[in-house]
Amino acid sequence: MKITDSFPFERAHKATPAELRFFRKAYENTYGEKFPKRGRPPKGEAKYRDVHIKLHPKALEWARAKAKSRGIGYQTLINEVLLHHAAD
C-alpha cells in the first residue's frame, strides 16, 4: 500500500507563515543553530567543484563496494582517499 493511498490529502493544509516561524524557532531552541536553508546553494558558494574524470572500471567497482560497506557514497569515499593522499 502506498502512502498516497492512505494519507487524507483532502484534509491537509499548507503551513502558514506563522507556523513556519514557530517551527524554525523550535528548531533553533532544540538544536542551538539556525534552521538550515533548503534548495541548491547559490553559485560561487559551493564547497565542492564539479569535475568529470574517467576511472578504470575496477577502481570504480572497488570504490562503490567499499563505500557501500561503510554506508557512504562512492564519491565521498573517492574524495576521502584523494584528500588523505594529498596530505602526505
pLDDT at 73: 92
The CA distance from 85 to 77, in Å, is 12
pLDDT in tens, 12-69: 888 899 999 999 999 999 999 988 877 776 666 667 788 899 999 999 999 999 999 9
pLDDT of residue 1: 53
> CB atoms < 10 A from the CB of 78, how many?
19
Would the pTM count as exceeding 0.85? no
Confidence of residue 88 (pLDDT cuts 50, 70, 90): confident
What are the φ/ψ torsions at residue 59 (nearest 5 degrees)?
Answer: -65, -40
The position carrying cell 513556519 is 20
**What pLDDT score was predicted for residue 48?**
79
